[in-house]
Amino acid sequence: MRPDVEIYDTTLRDGSQGEGINFSVTDKLRIADRLDAFGIHYIEGGWPGSNPKDIEFFAEARRRTFKKARLAAFGSTRRKGVAVEKDDQVRLLLDAETPVVTIFGKSWLLHVREVLRTTPEENLAMIADTVRFLKDQGKTVIYDGEHSFDGYKDNPDYALATWRAAEDAGADIVCLCDTNGGTLTTEIAKITQTLRNKLSVRLGIHTHDDIGLGVSNALAALDHGASHVQGTINGYGERTGNCNLISVIPCVALKMKRRCVPESSLRKLKDLSQFVDEIANIRHNTRLPWVGATAFAHKGGMHVNAVQKVAQSFEHIDPQAVGNTRRVLVSDLAGRSNILMKAQELGFQLTNETPELKAILARIKELEHEGYEYEAAEGSLALLIHKALSRREVPFQLNGYHVSMRRDGGGSVCEATVKVRVEGRSAHTVAEGDGPVNALDAALRTALSKFFPQLKKVRLIDYKVRILDSGTGTAAKTRVLIESSDGKDSWGTVGVSTNIIEASLQALIDSMEYRLARAPSR
């Protein structure tokens, strides 16, 4: 069944123009395979002949069979004064052997005269000749009208003439492009509606996010006659980025109630977003709408209480519909519902009648006031709850530690000594490290591993320091957040002190203790 809205992904071409984005050929092929499996209708692979990477990509792509998507090669209209069949760039589009070819041309007289340095008539001929030639070669042709909205506002008659030239030459889709990304949503809606009444060809929309309206503008166009939307995964793109398909797709499917990607794919939306970030080697944006870790995170006590009773009271959809999950945050804004839901999430069997619940909440608020933060330190939070409920003895005690620096040849080496006691037995260990925290981590883990072999696999994988009250200078209180892993699970812990070594040690001790005293059901 043909979708109501076709999704056209240009992550591999337009998205790769974003600052800090650099895909290898292997990266591009992996992303293309994932987009195909997800159900994207068109995948724009790049500009054949523009660089060796894209040449290799299309050569490799020819050996693949895409089950759901159609691969598109991207290029421009023929050059001025050159017959289309003799234009090398157009010939390279054919050599890519893709079923779809997307070409762009000029809609704005400013560009025709000042950039192309040609006549309005020749520009129309360049558009028509190229579309017709590609159609004669059996290609599906998508025509991108560059600077569509700027061109239309400047001279609507000429802009319309460019799109009619593409339509009359047989273009399958004319895509209106807000290339500068500066058009308001109301303008997008009005112009798209006007053109829907003047053109017979299917309309597409290609927006950028320069004023923060990339997604809004795309949806407005879809609501006023367009049925094809172009964008990138996670909004990658030049300047501030392109329209974010990760937001467009669920808006179309869940809010506008129109068919686009397969319904079963929506639950894989977060996975797709994170996969592309990982391939691009970019830290996932936790605040992304729909798929970010904070998209369904609740912190205020009254909000959490309401969500606990009726989820939709503070959630516009079920998070699982897009592969996300609800998160309850614990802070000094927390109420009983926060603690209850978070404890249950961590595996504790708490109810509103649990007598320790009030004391746990009071202790968390007290520690938050001192500078502790538990949103990214669920390991420390679980320990706090665990101790309040069980009142069990801690598995080990740190009886002392010492950290020093010594010269070693041309450099310096940090050395840490720790003394631990476990059920009447003691261990005294010395270890070296790249810095004091690294040395302490090694010494503590080595000492405890004698009693708890499972700790041998534990590794510190992230370390963050935050100065809490910089106005006090070197006496400032410091918060240390660390993330640890045993190769299977990972967890965060926190420490706070005016001494950064002491704060780090607190977090390290919590990390080890959490691994030994997991929440009851974990």
Q: Render pLDDT for 198-223 as a digit per residue (tens, 0 to 9).
A: 999 999 999 999 999 999 999 999 99
Give yes or no: residues 221 and 151 share one domain: yes
Boundaries of domain holding 401: 397-516
Element (H, E) at 350: none
Length of the chain: 522
Q: Show Cβ contacts of residue 489 under 8 Å, excluding neighbours closer than 6 positions.
A: none
Helix axes 25-38, 269-280, angle to 10 degrees: 180
The pLDDT, as a whole number, for residue 155 is 97
CATH of the domain at 434: 3.30.160.270
List strand residue ranges (DSSP E) for 147-286, in order. Answer: 173-178, 202-207, 228-231
- Residue 371 pLDDT greater than 90, yes or no: no
Judge whether 239 lies within some domain: yes
Q: Render pLDDT for 311-352 as a digit per residue (tens, 0 to 9).
A: 566 567 788 889 877 666 554 445 556 666 667 667 777 777
Judge whether 390 lies within some domain: no
Give yes or no: residues 316 and 253 share one domain: no
> Which of 254, 280, 306 finishes a domain?
280
Instruction: Pick the range with the lowest mean pLDDT from 248-262, 309-323, 410-424, 459-473.
Output: 309-323
What would the mean pLDDT of 405-417 be, rounded to a whole number? 80
Give yes or no: residues 301 and 275 share one domain: no
CATH of the domain at 164: 3.20.20.70
Separation of alpha carbons 389 and 381, rounded Å = 12
The pLDDT, as a whole number, for residue 389 is 80
- Residue 60 pLDDT greater than 90, yes or no: yes
411-422 sheet: strands from edge to edge: 397-408, 411-422, 425-433
The pLDDT, as a whole number, for residue 518 is 64
Judge whether 371 lies within some domain: no
Give yes or no: residues 271 and 162 share one domain: yes
Give yes or no: residues 269 and 307 share one domain: no
Give yes or no: residues 90 and 190 share one domain: yes
Vertex 49, ends 45 and 50: CA angle to 5°? 80
What would the mean pLDDT of 255-281 be, rounded to a whole number? 93
Helix axes 336-345, 357-370, angle to 10 degrees: 100
More confident call, 142 vs 358: 142
Judge whether 292 lies within some domain: no
> Which of 319, 344, 366 finishes a domain?
366
Give yes or no: residues 79 and 105 share one domain: yes
Judge whether 479 lies within some domain: yes
More confident call, 330 vs 457: 457
Separation of alpha carbons 183 and 162, rounded Å = 20
The DSSP bridge partners found for residue 482 are 463, 493
More confident call, 280 vs 308: 280
Residue pair 355/361 in contact by the 8 Å Cβ criterion: no
The pLDDT, as a whole number, for residue 324 is 78
Judge whether 391 lies within some domain: no
Judge whether 480 lies within some domain: yes
Give yes or no: residues 105 and 240 share one domain: yes
- Residue 306 pLDDT greater than 60, yes or no: no
The pLDDT, as a whole number, for residue 125 is 97
What would the mean pLDDT of 3-8 be, rounded to a whole number? 96
Judge whether 466 lies within some domain: yes
What would the mean pLDDT of 99-105 be, rounded to a whole number? 98
Q: How confident is the model at residue 135 (pLDDT cuts 50, 70, 90)?
A: very high
Helix (H, G, I), strand (E, B) or coil at 373: coil
> Which of 349, 366, 383 finishes a domain?
366
Give yes or no: residues 25 and 134 share one domain: yes
Give yes or no: residues 317 and 232 share one domain: no
Separation of alpha carbons 291 and 275, rounded Å = 12
Give yes or no: residues 176 and 320 share one domain: no
| Domain count within the chain | 3
Q: What is the pTM of this model?
A: 0.71
Q: Render pLDDT for 393-403 as a digit per residue (tens, 0 to 9).
A: 778 989 999 99
Q: How many CB atoms sit inside 10 A of residue 228's CB?
A: 24
Give yes or no: residues 161 and 232 share one domain: yes
